[in-house]
Amino acid sequence: MEPLSEENLRWLVSRFAHLLAAHGEAIGRPDLVLPTGDFFPDEFTLDPEGVHRVAKRLLSYAPVAADLPVGIAFLEEGEKAPSAGGGCGSGACGTGGGSGDGISGGTMLETDDGYGITLAVADTGNPTLMTTALARGVGAIVLSEAGEDADADMLGGLSELTGSAIGFGVLLTSGAYVYGKSCGGVRMRQATHLSVDEHAHLLALFCRVHDHKPGDARAHLGTTQKEAFESALAWVDSNPEIVQALKAHPETLADGVFPLAETKGLLGRLFGRKATTAPEMVAPKSKRPARTEAEERRLAEARALVEEALRIR
């Protein structure tokens, strides 16, 4: 995989920083949502009610009102999302960062009393594709509730970035590189607007900023996603100043103007900060007090006895 460009990295960090600066109090310290029974304890059934339970569970981890009305609009194959109240009618609003040919659903629609999220019927049978689309839809709802305006051609990517910032990074990174079978054999499907590398960097930033264990994320990633995550984590750990700024004063990064360091090796990351002055040499302290004259005399006598014994041998 090609490393992300400097422009890509600055966009990801600056948008992440903007969300923390503008809405940090509402975001708080989000959970790292994992595809496990601990986070999705509801029984899943392959019907509208079962899918809606998954969507409601995701919404419970988002910084929105608990009683916010949200429905699911199911799309048949080839069907496009209906236009409603400023929602993206095409169902494929992207940032240009990915191919977008595997994206279906996940569009946020405004309704009279709340929101709707589109979901392709064909994706309901695949947990990764379903949760990816729902995570993007919830991210778009959070953007809307926060009063963040987004151009139609940027909405998809910003919705996913927001989803990652509130804890859905594992779900979205998994959906950025999905193997599937078709008549022509095995093929890869990118079900996100942002690439797997972009999502891996967002996930790495999220883990370091909110002090989540990378191993928890790593355990639920596929081989390709895991490789991207390891590379992203190495870059994040090579830029500790960015992590500290995101924690303490994210507003200083929101304009995208800040130093970027290249990825360092393991030793470089461990010992990247050199001491400004040489450490002062301290004489080691004696582990026992000085011997008395009587002790010295007895020690000399003991040495003499040992030497005599050695000569006899």
Query: Is residue 298 one of the residues assigned to a domain?
Result: no
Query: Is residue 236 one of the residues assigned to a domain?
Result: yes
Query: Is residue 290 one of the residues assigned to a domain?
Result: no
Q: For 6-40, give one letter per residue: b (16+ CB within 10 A) or e.
A: eebbbbbbbbbbbbbebbeeebeebebbbeeeebb
Query: Is residue 305 one of the residues assigned to a domain?
Result: no
Identify the residue with better confidence: 46 or 280: 46
User: In sequence order, what E strands does the chain have?
Assistant: 70-75, 108-110, 115-120, 178-182, 185-189
Query: Is residue 62 one of the residues assigned to a domain?
Result: yes
Query: Is residue 295 one of the residues assigned to a domain?
Result: no
Domain holding 35, by residue range, is 6-269
Query: Is residue 253 one of the residues assigned to a domain?
Result: yes
Using a 10 angstrom Cβ sphere, with 0-12 exposed, 13-18 middle and 19 or more buried, the burial of residue 263 is: middle
Give the pLDDT band of residue 299 (cuts 50, 70, 90): low
Q: For tokens 């590379």, name the residue.
A: 231
HSE-up of residue 241 (Cα within 13 Å, Cβ side)? 9
Query: Is residue 279 one of the residues assigned to a domain?
Result: no
Q: Which tens digit of pLDDT belongs to each residue from 256-281?
A: 999 999 987 655 555 554 433 434 44
Asked whether the predicted pLDDT for residue 111 surpasses 80, the reply is: yes
Cα(155)–Cα(149) distance, rounded to whole angstroms?
9
What's the total number of domains in the chain? 1
